[in-house]
């Protein structure tokens, strides 16, 4: 019987402890004052400190999973490596605790989640009123709504990210004068998280829910590792990922729920359970709409049934809100697309690689054609025994072409990276991280283009390398045929 290599196991544990300490410091920048005098959440150097500290977290994460891989003897029975599985789970808990140690560090999206949940607890549709509506003043908790300071400014120490101000009230909720944008799965989630919580419980509610979601996916992947020989180092790709820890737990983005549902849909479809997969996929799309970009890689088995059931699930989830609010269920979506520059004739961070060579409107058209062509090609060429290879490629192409500012959209990519074993796709996640964190910096456009172009080069180099070495996915990166061969078509 093989045992884990002790030195690599010890090195892994130390690196996980280091990563946890780095995350703990990053969640509240004043904790770094001993190292960087004067640093604060809103200080002049906070943007750069956050940028480089986050990249350092990714570096330590990479070293930790490398050591974990080396701690697992080649050809060992994964089910017997309980110390490694325990380390993966304990590491996930430590990193989650570090993420819970401070309010959301760079985003106040969870303030909107909380408000939507509070409104629903009162029996009101979240699509009917904007947060600034005085009609809902009696529902406002102090941690979301506060009076301004004597000088008229908002006390940034009380709110994560940048507070909004409207009609003499400081709002932790962003865009307080527009309706919610979130689809029904998200709204149901917001309601369920806030349902047992008193009004005075703040951001920790959704952060704890994010930790539970992340742990749930980790436990699911550990189950795959036992049943289908998924290597444990790849479970850690999710469990210890700085993206999951920072954006999924600390900033509590609901995209984590969408990623979990997408993973469920992918696994069910690989096992031949088309109806169950379509239901999970429809629910994932009804979480944030973004998971729809995975659709071309999901149509390799009974596509029409999958499409009909997915759309049906999506509509059923919307139905209660549609009956209450009518067309209002569209919320801020049309305004959001315009605000984010998807229909802009001006230079924005959207389609940032293409706008290096094309005017904005032409870049949108060319980008749409690239996405459409790639989607059709992968739909027709998806390997039913390795569908995640097509799925991870298409989602990456969409993210690289569109270049969304919000790195948490890449949470969808992580489960597909884990299943495919294509670690080169982490370059896309890191590039989007650099794009997001460089936004407040003067060199943001150069950084964004350099990072995304670097990711493209990494993917091309990896493709050439794998073409020259057909066995490059070995050892320990093939989840199938063991998973696909266990399928039962329903």
Q: What is the pLDDT along the chain (490 residues), one digit of tens a residue?
A: 455 678 899 999 999 999 999 999 999 887 887 777 767 666 667 888 889 999 999 999 999 999 999 888 765 555 567 888 899 999 999 999 999 999 998 888 999 999 999 999 999 999 999 998 989 999 999 888 888 888 877 777 666 666 677 777 888 888 888 889 899 999 999 999 999 999 889 999 999 999 999 999 999 999 888 877 788 899 999 999 999 999 999 999 999 999 999 999 999 999 999 999 999 999 999 999 999 999 999 999 999 999 999 999 999 999 999 999 888 887 766 666 666 655 555 556 688 899 888 888 898 899 999 999 999 998 888 888 889 999 999 999 999 999 998 999 999 999 999 999 999 999 999 999 999 998 878 788 899 999 999 999 999 999 898 888 765 554 334 444 455 555 555 6
Task: Please give the pLDDT value at position 392.
Answer: 95
Query: What is the number of other CB atoms lying within 10 angstroms of the CB of residue 142?
Result: 11
The residue length of the chain stands at 490
Chain-centre distance for alpha carbon 396: 13
DSSP string, 410-440: GGGHHHHHHHHT-GGGHHHHHHHHHHHHTTT
CA distance 292 to 421: 22
Task: Please give the pLDDT value at position 43.
Answer: 63
Task: Please give the pLDDT value at position 380.
Answer: 86
CA dihedral of 279, 284, 286, 289, whole degrees rounded to 10: -130
| Whether 253 contacts 211, CB under 8 Å | no
Task: Please give the pLDDT value at position 224.
Answer: 87
> Which one-letter DSSP state was computed for residue 174?
S
pTM exceeds 0.95 = no
Element at 205 (helix H, strand E) = helix 204-228
Domain ranges of the chain: 6-104+207-486, 109-191
Among 389, 386, 382, 409, residue whose Cα is nearest residue 293: 409
Among 28, 29, 182, residue whose Cα is nearest residue 111: 182
Query: Positive or negative, the Cα torsion across 156, 157, 162, 168?
Result: negative
Element at 84 (helix H, strand E) = helix 82-99
Query: What is the number of other CB atoms lying within 10 angstroms of the CB of residue 172?
Result: 29
């Amino acid at each position: 019987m093989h045992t884990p290599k002790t030195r690599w196991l010890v090195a892994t544990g130390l690196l996980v402890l280091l990563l946890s300490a780095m995350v703990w410091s990053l969640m509240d920048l004043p904790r770094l004052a001993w190292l960087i005098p004067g640093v604060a959440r809103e200080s002049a150097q906070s943007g750069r400190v956050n940028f480089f500290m986050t990249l350092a977290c990714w570096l330590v994460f990479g070293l930790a999973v490398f050591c974990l891989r080396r701690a697992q003897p080649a050809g060992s029975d994964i089910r017997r490596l309980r110390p490694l599985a325990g380390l993966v789970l304990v590491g996930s808990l430590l990193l989650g605790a570090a993420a819970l140690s401070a309010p959301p560090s760079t985003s106040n999206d969870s303030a909107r989640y909380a408000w939507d949940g509070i409104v629903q607890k009162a029996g009101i549709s979240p699509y009917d009123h904007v947060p600034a509506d005085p009609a809902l003043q009696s529902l406002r908790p102090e941690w979301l709504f506060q009076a301004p300071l004597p000088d008229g400014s908002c006390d940034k120490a009380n709110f994560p990210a940048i507070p909004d101000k409207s009609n003499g009230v400081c709002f932790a909720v962003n865009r307080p004068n527009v309706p919610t944008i979130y689809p029904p799965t998200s709204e149901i989630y917001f309601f369920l998280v806030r349902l047992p919580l008193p009004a005075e419980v703040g951001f920790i509610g959704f952060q704890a829910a994010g930790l539970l979601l992340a742990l749930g996916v980790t436990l699911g992947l550990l189950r795959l590792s036992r049943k289908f020989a998924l290597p444990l180092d790849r479970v850690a790709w999710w469990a210890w990922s700085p993206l999951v820890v920072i954006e999924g737990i600390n900033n509590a983005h609901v995209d984590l729920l969408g990623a979990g549902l997408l993973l469920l849909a992918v696994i069910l479809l690989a096992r031949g359970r088309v109806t169950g997969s379509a239901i999970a996929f429809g629910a994932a799309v009804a979480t944030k709409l973004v998971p729809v970009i995975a659709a071309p890689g999901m149509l390799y088995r009974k596509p029409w049934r999958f499409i009909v059931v997915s759309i049906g699930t999506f509509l059923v989830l919307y139905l209660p809100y549609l009956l209450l609010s009518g067309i209002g269920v569209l919320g801020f979506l049309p305004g959001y697309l315009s605000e984010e520059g998807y229909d802009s004739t001006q230079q924005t961070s959207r389609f940032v690689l293409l706008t290096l060579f094309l005017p904005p409107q032409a870049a949108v058209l060319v980008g749409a054609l690239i996405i459409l062509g790639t989607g059709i090609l992968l739909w027709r060429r998806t390997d039913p025994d390795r569908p995640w290879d097509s799925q991870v490629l298409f989602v990456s192409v969409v993210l690289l072409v569109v270049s969304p500012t919000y790195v948490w959209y890449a949470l969808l990519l992580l489960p597909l990276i884990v299943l495919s074993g294509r670690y080169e796709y982490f370059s896309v996640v890191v590039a989007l991280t650099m794009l997001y964190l460089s936004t407040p910096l003067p060199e943001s456009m150069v950084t964004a283009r350099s990072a995304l172009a670097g990711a493209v080069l990494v993917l091309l180099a990896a493709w050439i390398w794998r073409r020259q070495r057909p066995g490059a996915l070995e050892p320990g990166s093939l989840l199938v045929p063991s998973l696909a061969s266990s399928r039962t078509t329903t």
